[in-house]
A and B are shown apart, each in its own frame.
Chain A
Amino acid sequence: MTLYVVYVKDTGHVVGAVNAAGDAPPGEGDVGALVGDALPMRVSVDGKVVRLPLPAERLALHTADDEPRVFDNPLAYGVELAGGQPKPTLVELRPESPELAFSNNSLVVTVQPDDPINDTPVLALVSDGEKVHVRPWAIPAGGDSVEIPVTVSEGNHGVLVLVAGWIGILATEIKAARS
């Protein structure tokens, strides 16, 4: 069996995994063979399943060393690059979830400050009815939070928030009436 993972190029998060017989990656390494035009991340919001599609152009395919636990929670794993190429071994991401909160016109993402030198890439997808907002963003170097501009209605929203280095969040987030 060979493990193929699909990861987000912005942040390195694994968002899907397949292991199958054979050495050749499906579709000769084209991520589209495993996700199509987009990989739909799904989350329950008010009893309905909401789709947060990750466009294929933001994703890449990697043949990784075997890691059976990646099937339990792909978002807990990441792909690290060395010299522009993915390392064979998946890395376990920091388990503390970033804190999320909606303000009036933004989604605030807060983490423990980690990198004083480089910006920390963030990718956020937020559902709002039929619409999905896609926000590639970054936490400034040395900072511990970022306000990602996104205006959504009051109520529950499906969110996918990927902060490079931290476990990914796929959950429901409430925008309160007066936030």
Chain B
Amino acid sequence: MTAPLRPAFHEGQVLSAADLAATVGYGRDVAARHARHLHDWGIAEGLELVTEARTDPATNARYVEVSVSAGLAIDGTGREIVVPASAVLSEASFAEVNGADQATLEPYPVFLTTIDRAQSATGPVSCGTAAAPTRVEESYQILFGRRGDELLAEDQQPPPVSAALADPPTRWLVLLGFVQWTDGHFTRVFPSARGVEPRYAGVRADTVSARAGELTLRTRPTVQEGQPALVLSGEDPPSLVFGLYQGSGTVNPLMTVAANGNLTVAGSFSGRISAGSVLATSGTATDGMLLPLPAGVSKQEVDDGRVELHVHVTPRVPPATTASTLHSPVEATVDGELRVRCRVRSYDPLGVPEVVTEQPGAVEFLVMATVAAAGG
């Protein structure tokens, strides 16, 4: 294998068609290697399967016309596939491949691939040569696969590092989605099936840097309310923020790491408790309720003995119904499953008749969870 050859010219050189073709080919190959090795292949823009409701005039059956929207993909050879305008999927082409199948609701894969189409010569033509094409349209083709072919598309292998773009182009299948076929028509589209979904173009980089001092990662091309974002900010003070976009387009912080290492979370924190640490929760609970565990402690950790609980409860004195009412706790404890058992006896010595009542009560509680230090 030779290294890439860059065409070079000098004064007085007689240029051949091969020289001009090499000039064009050199640029194409540079772009292809960039796309192939600095990006992951897949859909870069658009190329969604879009449906429009239709009715078959012969049978009155409802079906959908399926189109692929305009867009761009990069295939695994590094070649661009451009769909310049929305294109309707051909039912006849589908029927050629899958029309003989028995009726099924199982979806069929739809692929996009490249195809070169020679354009006829334009302008003056040499007397001594035939009218060979002077342009090649780098076009596209929509292909329908058999059920399960989407798995084969996942196994496609890219060409070697220095390989030039093949001519005619290597067939590389880019999955667009899936269609359902019923009685000679498309009836539905699916974005994914059998665990496979369209693949989108990616970036390979060990360093990603921002010029504006703030780097944002988000899960959609555009800012959408409720969607997550990760913002690394070099502003003063620097911070790392995870949050959700608000309607205003700003990120509502749910987790912030400050420059001094402080971590602030809006929700609760859970994770493995380090040995020797103590977590606690406190509050009030009524009779019969299970006491909550401190945040970060799971019942499993308590059950298998990794975490030891220390519980303290105090009966809550109910409000006096009369100035002379006396209250006395009958019990205020928790059982083995942390269920509160609290009953309070009330008695009014001045009441007529003298009646002793017993009612469920409430306790103030403190639950501490400890993890024994290693080796001790």
Contact = CB atoms under 8 A, between A and B. Distances in A.
Interface of A: 1, 6, 15-24, 26, 33-36, 39-42, 44, 49, 71-74, 170
B360 A18 contact: no
A42 B288 contact: yes
Nearest to A20: B283
Contact of B337 (A15, A18, A19, A36): A36
B343 A42 contact: yes
B180 to A, nearest CB: 34
B286 to A, nearest CB: 5
A20 B281 contact: yes
B278 to A, nearest CB: 14
Nearest to B358: A44
A44 B281 CA distance: 31
A170 to B, nearest CB: 7
A21 B283 contact: yes
Interface string B316-330: 101100000000000
B287 interface: yes
A15 B292 CA distance: 17
Contacts of A42: 287-288, 341, 343, 360
Interface in B334-363: 337, 339, 341, 343, 358-360, 362
20 contacts: A16-B287, A17-B289, A18-B283, A19-B285, A20-B282, A21-B282, A21-B295, A23-B266, A33-B292, A34-B289, A34-B292, A35-B289, A36-B339, A40-B288, A40-B339, A42-B341, A42-B343, A44-B343, A71-B286, A170-B359
A71 B316 contact: yes
B316 A18 contact: no
B300 to A, nearest CB: 13
Contacts of B283: 1, 18-21
A41 B288 contact: yes
A73 B343 CA distance: 12
A49 B331 CA distance: 12
Given A18-B284, A18-B289, A23 B268 contact: yes
B308 to A, nearest CB: 19
Interface residues on B, range: 20 to 34
B291 interface: yes
B179 interface: no
Contact of A18 (B267, B291, B341, B359): B291
Contacts of A1: 283
B293 interface: yes
A172 to B, nearest CB: 10
A169 to B, nearest CB: 12
A72 B295 CA distance: 26
Contacts of B289: 6, 16-18, 34-35, 39
A18 B319 contact: no
A20 B292 contact: yes
B32 to A, nearest CB: 50
B307 to A, nearest CB: 16
Contacts of A33: 290, 292
A34 B293 CA distance: 10
B83 to A, nearest CB: 45
B337 A24 contact: no
Contacts of A74: 286
B292 A72 contact: no
For B266, B319, B360, which residue has the most chain A Cβ atoms within 10 angstroms? B360
A162 to B, nearest CB: 15
Contacts of A23: 266-268
B288 A39 contact: yes
Contacts of A44: 343, 358
Contacts of A20: 281-283, 292
A18 B289 CA distance: 8
A17 B358 contact: no
B287 A72 contact: no
A49 B343 contact: yes
Given A20-B281, A23-B268, A26-B292, 9 more contacts: A20-B283, A24-B267, A24-B268, A33-B290, A40-B339, A42-B360, A71-B286, A72-B319, A73-B359
Nearest to B266: A23
Nearest to B362: A71
Given A42-B360, A71-B362, A16 B288 contact: yes
A72 B291 contact: no
Given A1-B283, A23-B267, A170 B360 contact: yes
A6 B285 CA distance: 11
B303 to A, nearest CB: 14
Contact of A72 (B281, B285, B318): B318
For B267, B285, B287, B288, which residue has the most chain A Cβ atoms within 10 angstroms? B288
* 5 closest A-B pairs by CB: A20-B283, A26-B292, A71-B362, A24-B268, A18-B285
